Amino acid sequence: MKKLLAALVLSLTVFVGRAQECGTEPAPQYILDALERLNLPALVAARTEDDTIIYVPIQMHLIRSDAGTAALSEADLFTAICTMNVRYTDAKIQFYITDQIFYYDNSTILNASDGNSISSLMSANNKPYVMNIYFTNLGQRGLNGYAWYPNSGPGSGVRQGGAVMSYSAVMNGATLSHETGHYLSLPHPFDGTSNNPLMGERVTRNFNETPPRLPANCYNAGDRFCDTKADKRGARWGCTYSPAAGDTDLNGDFFWPDSSLLMSYAGDACRIRLTDEQMAACRSTLQTPNDRGYLTFLPRPVQPSINSAPVLTLPANGATGLHPNFTTFAWDPVPGATIYRLRALSNGVVVDLDTIIRGGQTSYFHGHNKLRPNRSYQWEVTAYNETDFCGNPTSTRSTFQTTNFTATSVDEGFFADLQVFPTLLERNGSIYLQGESLNGKRLQLELRNMTGQLLRSENLQLEGDAHFHTELNTSGVYYLTIRHEGYRIVRKLVVQ
Ligand SMILES: [Zn+2]
């Protein structure tokens, strides 16, 4: 818990509220009907007595630029989920991550001006039995995030819907928890009232008002909760509400919305909580098979908490003369760790490398995001696993120095672990490409004959291995050029 709070304080001090909105549609009628059917007082009492924590797995999907860059690191996203865990602690709902992170390097989708491309992506890639969260840039659409209520959105069944978060809003401490609230059936407190305050939810909580005053309707209007104050404010506001003269309901009572409610449109800095009835409704959604009950289908991994920091081994502390473009980092395994974050800071300040290494691997070949030549570097590693990723201890920093950038030797080094075989081919033969450090990357291939004439070109995504059909029917000598991020190597091929 101490670690969770540390993560929370960190996230709040860095980002303060932005006035962008939530793009979630008003709750559909079947959601409102389902909320009305809940016996909320009984569920609230049950939650208080029931100490069972409901664990929800999260699949993170990161949309990045064509070049593979994103506005936040994966570790920042871990921190945001840690903050959400603080927000949902009283609800006895906790989120954990899956080891795998899905990446989509596509600038068009990243900066899309409508939701079509991301919805298509969700239809195709949503994983079953988890909460699918897509991180992208919603700046073009003026949105912080949006989500789908149960039984709506792209995909179907146990992989339907999810949440979409704008990178700019991930660290504000409120938006992710807010969108997750929608995903778990919570409407905005102003739903149905902001567009018609006179006919919406009334301010009074007295069910036996004396006529002509009208009684409370909070279980059948607005968000269907009586412990969230009636709210008519459907646009972003701050942390202090100042009602205008006409901000009254049918009884003439002033609306005084509660800025502490996560589901409201108050400022991000003050939106911090769910009410008892909202928590009970979220739990009910997770306990109802036809809503989000499938999220509890997968067994939560049994993992120890991470109690120690990694010990760095390579490059040796104080090493000099390292090549900026292909440095291998290594550290000793930490018990229980399946995920590591590696950061390298040039001159101890500028973050040139910040990456997540999954699958329990304890080394990383740095061949893509180039380190700078002639710099002193500090680097560090933090260990995580799927259930313990909040405020974990980071290694002592180690130092190394890079040497000059030597253009003549760079290209071969960049492709150091790329295997290209066979180079002695039958006619019409295929060539296989394999290389761990380039896995998931797009390679451009060009096949030329001895006079330099271009015969074939192809873009290949390296996934495990890839093959390239030469379609060469004539024996002779050919040259295959392989390019990636401005580097290239050439391999000579002989067709028998
Ligand atoms: Zn919303």
What domains lie within the chain, and their CATH numbers? 2-186+274-296 (3.40.390), 312-402 (2.60.40.10), 412-495 (2.60.40.1930)
Q: Distance (Å, rounded) from C-alpha 391 to C-alpha 78?
A: 9
CA of 379 relative to ligand 1 center, distance in Å: 39
pLDDT band at residue 15 under the 50/70/90 scheme: very low
CA of 120 relative to ligand 1 center, distance in Å: 21
CA of 146 relative to ligand 1 center, distance in Å: 6
pLDDT band at residue 103 under the 50/70/90 scheme: very high
Q: What is the pLDDT of residues 166-205, one digit of tens each?
A: 999 999 999 999 999 999 999 999 999 999 999 999 999 9
Q: Distance (Å, rounded) from C-alpha 410 to C-alpha 92?
A: 53
How much is the pTM? 0.80
- What's the whole-number mean pLDDT along residues 388-404? 92
CA of 114 relative to ligand 1 center, distance in Å: 18
Cβ atoms < 10 Å from Cβ of 73: 16
Q: Distance (Å, rounded) from C-alpha 165 to C-alpha 358?
A: 23
Reference 58, options 10, 100, 117, 28; nearest CA is 100
Predicted confidence at residue 405, as pLDDT, reads 61
- Contact by Cβ (8 Å): 173, 11: yes
Q: Distance (Å, rounded) from C-alpha 207 to C-alpha 275?
A: 20
DSSP conformation letters of 105-119: E-HHHHT-SSSHHHH
Predicted confidence at residue 462, as pLDDT, reads 83
By the CB criterion, residues less than 5 angstroms from ion ligand 1 are: 22, 24
Tokens for 271, please give them: 């939106």
Q: Is 82 helix (H, G, I), strand (E, B) or coil?
A: helix
Q: Distance (Å, rounded) from C-alpha 15 to C-alpha 219?
A: 35
Cβ atoms < 10 Å from Cβ of 26: 16
In 167-214, where do the E strands start and end? Answer: none
pLDDT band at residue 421 under the 50/70/90 scheme: confident
Lowest pLDDT segment from 208-212, 332-336, 363-367, 381-385: 363-367
Q: Which helix (H) or strand (E) holds 81?
A: helix 74-87
Q: Distance (Å, rounded) from C-alpha 221 to C-alpha 415?
A: 63
Tokens for 74, please give them: 């994966």
CA of 279 relative to ligand 1 center, distance in Å: 16
CA of 50 relative to ligand 1 center, distance in Å: 28
Q: Would you state the torsion angle of the CA atoms of residues 422, 426, 427, 431, taken in this order, to the nearest 10 degrees?
A: -20
CA of 396 relative to ligand 1 center, distance in Å: 41
Q: What is the pLDDT of residues 429-470, one digit of tens each?
A: 899 888 877 777 788 898 988 777 889 888 888 887 788 889
The Cα-based distances of 473 to 420, 421, 469, 481, 495 in angstroms read 20, 18, 11, 19, 8
